[in-house]
Amino acid sequence: MAPKRQAQGAGSSSRPQKKTHVDVNPETQDKLHAWVLGDRSTPWYNDGDILLKANGKFFRVHVSVLAGASGYFQDLVPSIEQGEKLFEGCAVLEINCSDRKLRHVLRALYKRSFEDLSRLPETVELEAWLHLATNFRIWPLRQEAIDCILDAYPPDLKTFEDRLEACCVAESKGNRTLDAMLVAFLAMDHDLDTFLPSILYACCQSRLGMLGIYQILDETQRYAKRLKRQKFTFDAFFDLYGDIMEKCYAGFSRLAVAHHDLLMAVFDAKFSPRCDQTLECRITLGILRERAFVMGDRPSIPRLDWLKDLDTAGKLCPPCHEYTRQITAVKRQEIWQRLPDIFDLDKHPDVAHGPRGRS
Ligand SMILES: [Zn+2]
């Protein structure tokens, strides 16, 4: 079993520094003014009463909005109120994180007037929400990120099958394998291990098999490099690459075995006790068995009606179909419950979190 990865790198190691006022002594107020306006970023509200500075960029926002969402900022309100107002009556607070991350979090806090709620977030946005929501104690924002993941990768099999085409992040552009891979990196980097079984299972559903998984892993690597060039600290991608590849590789072959075992369980059960045409059904099951195994093992859980779909001529009697369906239903759940072992994960999916039904 792979060792559990410690949270590290840009993902989660650093906490924001407390009340660090901007460390400059501009000779005149005009110079400070020009400096701030030259490096201002959005969101920027002219009636904002605090300047946040991150990575050389300034954001003008409202103390009330920050304190209303974040326990971290709530604790800072007294020192902000008492502190020096360096720019147009605003206190200036330096935040120890990338300006892009802070921007994503501020946009999310102001989103009712700022954002199109129906669009999918980008990977970097989700990452910023998960990272800074934890550091600044903005729990609804962390839950928002988790809900986005759960909506595309729900922890129960039936809902998962209803959401097979769903994606979680914008840049996957409908490519479910790429989407699952990007989300797998995020989930592993932010200790969301309980959501990994369904995410990694989705990774293994590439139509191109293991080759498809390798291609998508390479694509996510290239994407992470692009982000790095844009100064977005996403080092965790590189640390996690091997871990995800191992899990997919192990899971892929174990799922194929589980698929084969389910088929065997159905065919070995022979016909239903209520069958009144046992000879015909026995012959039909023999033909279907050959057909099923010629199609080969797949790294997936067969659909509930897989045998009915295979019996195109409808030769098997209804009680036998119902019988095989019941066996399939039990075995399907068994495989789904075993996903944490199949992917060498430590925990079971946490079914307490339901999908949110985001459209
Ligand atoms: Zn029968």
Q: How far is the CA of 316 from the centre of ligand 1 (A)?
A: 6
Q: Is there a single domain that holds both residue 249 and residue 263?
A: no
**Do 131 and 73 sit in the same domain of this protein?**
no
**Number of folded domains in the chain?**
3
Residue 79 domain-assigned (yes or no): yes
- Print the domain residue range for 177: 123-254
Distance from C-alpha of 87 to C-alpha of 36, rounded to nearest angstrom: 8
Cis, peptide link before residue 318, omega less than 30° from 0: no
User: What is d(CA 203, CA 183) in angstroms, rounded to the nearest whole number?
Assistant: 10
Asked if the structure places residue 171 within a domain, the reply is yes
9 CA → ligand 1 middle, Å? 60
User: Mean pLDDT, 10 residues at a time, over the chain (359 residues)?
Assistant: 36 43 57 77 86 88 86 83 77 83 83 60 85 84 89 95 92 91 89 92 89 87 76 65 88 95 92 92 93 87 93 94 96 96 70 38
Closest CA to 58 of 103, 88, 113, 10: 103
Q: Are residues 197 and 239 in the same domain?
A: yes
Is residue 206 in some structural domain?
A: yes
Q: How far is the CA of 279 from the centre of ligand 1 (A)?
A: 8
The answer to whether residue 141 is domain-embedded is yes
Q: What is the pTM of this model?
A: 0.79
How far is the centre of ligand 1, averaged over its atoms, from the C-alpha of 290 (Å)?
18
From the list 358, 355, 340, the residue with the least C-alpha distance to 2 is 340
Q: Determine the distance separating the centroid of ligand 1 and the alpha carbon of 251, expressed in angstroms.
A: 35
Output the CA 292–ligand 1 centroid distance in Å. Answer: 18
Asked if residue 30 belongs to a domain, the reply is yes
Q: What is the 294 CA–ligand 1 centroid distance (Å)?
A: 23
What is the per-residue pLDDT for 256?
95
Q: Can you say whether the dihedral through the CA atoms of 311, 314, 319, 320 is positive or negative?
A: negative
Name beta bridge partners: 87.
90
Å from CA of 317 to ligand 1 middle: 4
